[in-house]
Structure 1
């Protein structure tokens, strides 16, 4: 572990009770220089996680409840018993001669990673040095909660490997205990915290216990890495350490198989580890590989995808499948990585379920023909829908909330998943009507303004959220009976026709700069429903400090492309073309890997100056998934999407995994940052892999695979003239086109009193319940001439109480 500490461990009496006869292996002192029951240096340094730069992520297709990651050529976080719970920081190796020479293999920078086939999460990793070659083969046991490593050291025979294990049980490096103990004829390196235990066992070629000298210690003071740093060899042997940030080390022979197991105690984990070792590693490897090959064989890839893209598509399919949980089938986390993990102990929000990321990924599974997995996602979403029809902003696997913001696109996406499955006759026996009713009711009651956009940051009205919600209203109407279906479509028509009124800026300095007439802003304040002047309001810039702001019409993003992708606007729509000019001139970056875009101008989510890790504020970096979204625009526009797919491939890490962000400045080798290559943000980002899959699978039909056919039929790239405008307490519109009827959408029985002559005469109408948790009143505004001001008041139909306001709309 790369941790330095200036304080040497306290001396102790010589005690080496647990050393096996193999402690006399050449390359290790016969008697430890320091041996004791308890390691010094409690509680250890502040813990961190491993780097987010992963080469491989994987799991077994079997009863095993274990997920593993590999980065810098060693095992990093291993997750158990759920996909959201990392239990170790890393398991790496030192090679040394016991006389002062030693090397930590992950720092060599020479490793090569191979998998049996593209998309098979079993790894052969080779590190080379002028004095040795060390090979690992890594695969999970499909039948047990065990990760197996077959290790071979070749070259200078004075050298031996040493394993370094950093437990982070329960998802933290704090409060762990570590011990070296004997279990049924085996030396076991073990750790416990709360309800979790782990065990690392090892056997040689004859399945005989393989550990030589072994030790437990505190990170930064008495751990094995510090031992080598200070003494040039393994000279400490402590039996116990903890509670604290602990680490384990043990010497191994040159050919060995290790089993890292997890259970409810160290004894339970040791039983699993030892039982996994009483079998041939090659047989476990073959079983694991065979299960994955069979899964891939059931996907719809070879006949639809160009040969040059099949390998990355298979890899992406594996990433999607790997991120699904086994306790909660259908739940998927955003990434099996911890952004900037080597600078923090917090596991962050990427081990949560985000309804948007989940459905984006499920739609990629649908595109691949992985309908079983996609149906599990839909079942999970139905099970976790809230009584008011929405979903939490994000949640733990079991459905309890983490962040509780409201994002309307996350309410719309599950409806689109149900629609996509139904269009392919793949819905099976899932009953979706109640889910759809609840979700659409929430959209109508609370839209079109969203408390948060898709980047979790800002309230208002934005084109991406509108496109998703409008599509869900139209697609979801297919599941509903009248009059609910008509209401959903009418609201969709109303919102679709209003997109430019609400979100397009005209005559601004930004427009003049790029020769544009109008362009879609990133997010319009909700007040724009009443006054277009709201586009001049100042809005916050997240991750840039508490006082950072920007004028709404000065900020743009790529979210408007969803209008084209979902069939609401043609690719040659004037505002779309103008916005492309503004966006490409503002947030596009041409890297050695290809073109890529920032989320929006002024983004602060990314490394700080000099490549320092993001710690709550920073500088936004470009996202490869946005290159995929631009490829979808090219697909609809009749251009070639392949350059965007190839650019995404070049932005991948060395193992082919897609990162969340890529570096956009000059190279910083000391920070491992290179233009067009991954930053310290999440890698892999499941959403990015889903975007690649959807674009690649859409090539054959030249239509986005996540576009609803119902939406395409209704709009064909342009809005229809709405017959109704919809007023609600969340959408208090102030103007009404001539010839358009007015519907008041309310949440309780209400008496509406209205007038067109400033209350000299008035009428009353009572709302009627229409389902979806809605009450509706329709005023005959379509019969009023332009210039008339329609006023109304609202009185509760239950209590009789007036709300005390006089509302007004101008006709025309």
Structure 2
């Protein structure tokens, strides 16, 4: 290293950028670069997959007669795209002293991001500020010479200007970076050639007021330099034309349902946003968002640039509604590749399949099965052996581990969620014909039983929230496991202090999926009553429209003063949930347009839909405005998918998640299952007469049983089915003359449990 080293090593602890994005962009060719824009500059750039952000941001300082301005802090810019579905952002920053025009173009073929710039203004000069954060590491190395270069192990970048730099410098963030130079000296005075082993920043004074920057990425410094220089040698106009042509060709396949011009534009933009989140190194992978929620306040290795199977399948369903069957099919095959040996999927994972968090969510096992069923329903499933094996393995996991889930869809609590139960039941029914007649009958029996018991697990008839609304009961957000007390026990809200709350006091919108999947009718009194309850308790009327909170007392959001979420906070309204409420409006004969209009108005400057919007008083210093994006993730792919699906439901009256098999089998009514399946994870203590009882476990066992207080004692050995479930069935005729079935277990080691169980036969 040079002796002329910048002071301040290793620099301030790094963070990511604000999740307040203007736009995201990527090409559709061989290039593996994804870029985000926020506050009028380039934020995180991802390479070589959507799960790997490599820089914090790339911005500019303009020196002018009035002094100097860092343009991202000035926040006086206009943003535009050629078309809503072509992510070629143009940004114009303007003040009384200067006008800076930027166009951000991912190179169609090379792993390189191009930025065309044009500066106007008397004596105005332009300086580029680059903050590498390669591989999310806190120790990067930088070299400032003819190019600006950085590296960390086997990842490198190079920023080159076609006109070259007058001077360059490398420094440490917070002490010797370019911004500090201007803040201390009102101009660029430092020219440190190297900085290493820390949070580094690079600065360069551009030699011309008009030109092109190329930011290349590679495994080596030489490779990054080669890509940057080669990209500048390519014709910018030819690259631009190829980029636009590829997006126009893709858009020709879109089949947007009839809508107002504004909604059609929003729909095309939403389809583009989803497409931008598809990986090319791992085709079909879709991360939840190319952003880090509250990213400017912390350094998170995961953020939302991870694959959640739930978000991915929700987006794939949306692609199907607008005719992009091949795109959705790639996602299905990607999920074949990330499925675990036991048939499940990790809670979330990097695009290459490496798990991040370690929870298990049953809905994330059911949803890929539903995606296969949807592709089959629209005639776009190859039924390859591997696809069929994926379905069979997922169903096996569901059979052995359902219906309780270790986590609900908000990844917070264990138990029975109406949303998760709906997904499990639909997966069982729509996949049953993949199996033999005996196995098919078992799957349908299990689905019927779980469907009939939804209300037992998730419908409160004596909850406190009934008061004042003339309700007999309501669906709750989540019913804890029976072993933890079930519907009458306590839930711990993890995002607030002292969050212990009776389960019956927490409500959400999960139950609406019972209607959306055809398990319950829209006019079912229990459904309609709970809709009135969520409208009273969770609905937020904001200047931009309608949104809903995830559940009452949620803590996932900014603090009251607007400070970023830091493990606790106050939950804010979600535009996504306006879409879920809009689906119910469409299915109950009401107008869903107010919800669609709300979703398209609660966006950022570029029309991206955020995870949450602000619901407090305006806080100018934090950029928080009522009804506009908060500091949470933006864009949220799931939200853009929800807009597309609601638009389709409005046009056709058929939700994407509704299958003919479900409509025919249940017709929106709670079934009367012929067999109830008793498990220690989902037991019952009474059953109506005329039903079979199947006692089940995932291990071998024997049962000692008797009737009506241990009379007529007998023993039976369990028999395993092909799913690995061991079971003993008592038929309705065996139970007909009895009031109680008594039983206890003997393990495969020969020991009796020492605990008796009983089921009353009413």
Give the TM-score category using the shorter length.
over 0.9
* Structure 1 position 783, deviation (Å): 4.7
1:40 equivalenced with 2:7 (yes/no)? yes
Quick one: which of 688, 696, 710 aligns to 1:737?
688
* Structure 1 position 386, deviation (Å): 1.9
> Partner of 2:352 in structure 1?
398
> Partner of 1:495 in structure 2?
450
Deviation beyond 6 Å, 4+ runs, structure 1: none
Encode CA deviations 1:30-67: one digit per residue, 9 max, x unaligned.
xxxxxx73212211111111110111101111111110
1:809 equivalenced with 2:759 (yes/no)? yes
Counterpart-to-counterpart distance in 2, 1:589 and 1:222: 46
> Partner of 1:189 in structure 2?
148
* Structure 1 position 408, deviation (Å): 1.1
1:110 equivalenced with 2:110 (yes/no)? no
> Partner of 2:143 in structure 1?
179
> Partner of 1:7 in structure 2?
none
Counterpart-to-counterpart distance in 2, 1:782 and 1:291: 67
> Partner of 1:722 in structure 2?
673
**Equivalent position SS for 1:550:** strand
**Equivalent position SS for 1:37:** coil
Quick one: which of 504, 513, 530 aligns to 1:562?
513
> Partner of 2:745 in structure 1?
794
> Partner of 1:380 in structure 2?
334
> Partner of 2:372 in structure 1?
418
Counterpart-to-counterpart distance in 2, 1:138 and 1:606: 31
* Structure 1 position 787, deviation (Å): 7.0
**Equivalent position SS for 1:147:** strand
Is this contact kept in 1: 2:16–2:299, CA < 8 A? yes
- Structure 2 segments unaligned to the other structure (5+ residues): none
Counterpart-to-counterpart distance in 2, 1:72 and 1:670: 14
* Structure 1 position 781, deviation (Å): 4.0
Is this contact kept in 1: 2:258–2:264, CA < 8 A? no
Matches within 5 A, 1:580-595: 580-595=531-546
Is this contact kept in 2: 1:416–1:708, CA < 8 A? no
* Structure 1 position 100, deviation (Å): 7.2
1:786/1:122 CA distance change after superposition, 3 Å: farther
Give the RMSD, CA atoms, in angstroms: 1.8
Encode CA deviations 1:704-761: one digit per residue, 9 max, x unaligned.
0221221111111112211010012322221111111101222234333321143332
Encode CA deviations 1:126-166: one digit per residue, 9 max, x unaligned.
0111121110111011110000011001232x111110000
* Structure 1 position 306, deviation (Å): 4.6
* Structure 1 position 786, deviation (Å): 8.2
Encode CA deviations 1:9-34: one digit per residue, 9 max, x unaligned.
xxxxxx9xxxxxxxxxxxxxxxxxxx
* Structure 1 position 785, deviation (Å): 4.8
TM-score by length of 1: 0.91
Encode CA deviations 1:583-615: one digit per residue, 9 max, x unaligned.
122111111111111100110110012000111
* Structure 1 position 770, deviation (Å): 2.3
> Partner of 2:290 in structure 1?
336
Is this contact kept in 2: 1:43–1:244, CA < 8 A? yes
* Structure 1 position 445, deviation (Å): 2.0
> Partner of 1:129 in structure 2?
95
Counterpart-to-counterpart distance in 2, 1:104 and 1:216: 18
Is this contact kept in 2: 1:739–1:783, CA < 8 A? no
* Structure 1 position 474, deviation (Å): 1.1
Is this contact kept in 2: 1:503–1:521, CA < 8 A? yes
User: May I ask how many residue pairs the two structures share in their alignment?
Assistant: 759
Is this contact kept in 2: 1:57–1:67, CA < 8 A? yes
The farther-off stretch of 107-116 and 77-86 is: 107-116
Is this contact kept in 2: 1:663–1:676, CA < 8 A? yes
> Partner of 2:489 in structure 1?
537
Counterpart-to-counterpart distance in 2, 1:286 and 1:618: 46
Quick one: which of 407, 410, 423 aligns to 1:452?
407
Is this contact kept in 2: 1:568–1:718, CA < 8 A? yes
* Structure 1 position 623, deviation (Å): 0.8
Is this contact kept in 1: 2:134–2:151, CA < 8 A? yes
* Structure 1 position 355, deviation (Å): 1.0
Is this contact kept in 1: 2:26–2:34, CA < 8 A? yes
> Partner of 1:155 in structure 2?
121
Matches within 5 A, 1:381-780: 381-431=335-385, 432-527=387-482, 534-545=486-497, 547-780=498-731
Is this contact kept in 2: 1:213–1:250, CA < 8 A? yes
> Partner of 1:80 in structure 2?
47
* Structure 1 position 430, deviation (Å): 3.1
Counterpart-to-counterpart distance in 1, 2:533 and 2:428: 30
> Partner of 2:167 in structure 1?
213
Quick one: which of 139, 156, 169 aligns to 2:134?
169
Encode CA deviations 1:336-382: one digit per residue, 9 max, x unaligned.
01111111112434122111111111111121221222111111212
1:319 equivalenced with 2:273 (yes/no)? yes
Encode CA deviations 1:315-338: one digit per residue, 9 max, x unaligned.
111111111112211111111011
Quick one: which of 209, 214, 217 aligns to 1:262?
217
Is this contact kept in 1: 2:293–2:303, CA < 8 A? no
Is this contact kept in 2: 1:544–1:604, CA < 8 A? yes
Encode CA deviations 1:617-640: one digit per residue, 9 max, x unaligned.
111111110000011111211221
> Partner of 1:28 in structure 2?
none
**Equivalent position SS for 1:445:** helix
Counterpart-to-counterpart distance in 2, 1:395 and 1:308: 35
Counterpart-to-counterpart distance in 1, 2:246 and 2:136: 29
Encode CA deviations 1:492-536: one digit per residue, 9 max, x unaligned.
11111111222111133311232211101111121289x7xx433
Is this contact kept in 2: 1:516–1:581, CA < 8 A? no
Counterpart-to-counterpart distance in 2, 1:325 and 1:311: 24
1:657/1:651 CA distance change after superposition, 3 Å: same
- Structure 1 segments unaligned to the other structure (5+ residues): 1-14, 16-35, 182-186, 205-209
